Amino acid sequence: MDNPKVRQMLGSQGAIMIAKTNSRSILGSMNDLAFQIKCIVHAMGGLVIADLSEINRQLNYIPMSAIKYNVGIEELRRRLVEPES
C-alpha cells in the first residue's frame, strides 16, 4: 500500500530511538501490551507455534489509556482521515 498520509506519518518520526519515558500513561500501556503478548502466546500454545500476525491483530484491538482508551487500529484510522490538530 502506497498511502501518502502513512508515508508522511512515518517520515515525520525521524530517526528511531529507544529512550526512557516520563509518561506513566505510556509506560502503563507498554507494560499492559507486554502482559497481553505473554497471555496471547501462552493461549496459542507457546512461542514456537505462535502466529505473529494474529498476535499483532489482537494487540490492535486492546484499549490503551495513553490514547484515551481507544484501540490502536481505530486511532490509526482516525489519524489517517483527520488532519493533525
Gap between the Cα atoms of 47 and 33, Å rounded: 16
Rg (CA), the chain: 15
Q: What pLDDT does 47 receive?
A: 94
pTM of the model: 0.69
- CA torsion 41-42-43-45 (nearest 10°) is 90
- At 19, the amino acid letter reads A
* Segments of the chain with pLDDT less than 50: none
Gap between the Cα atoms of 62 and 5, Å rounded: 24
**Closest C-alpha to 49, from 59, 38, 41:** 41
Q: What pLDDT does 46 receive?
A: 96
Domain ranges of the chain: 21-81
Q: What pLDDT does 20 receive?
A: 85
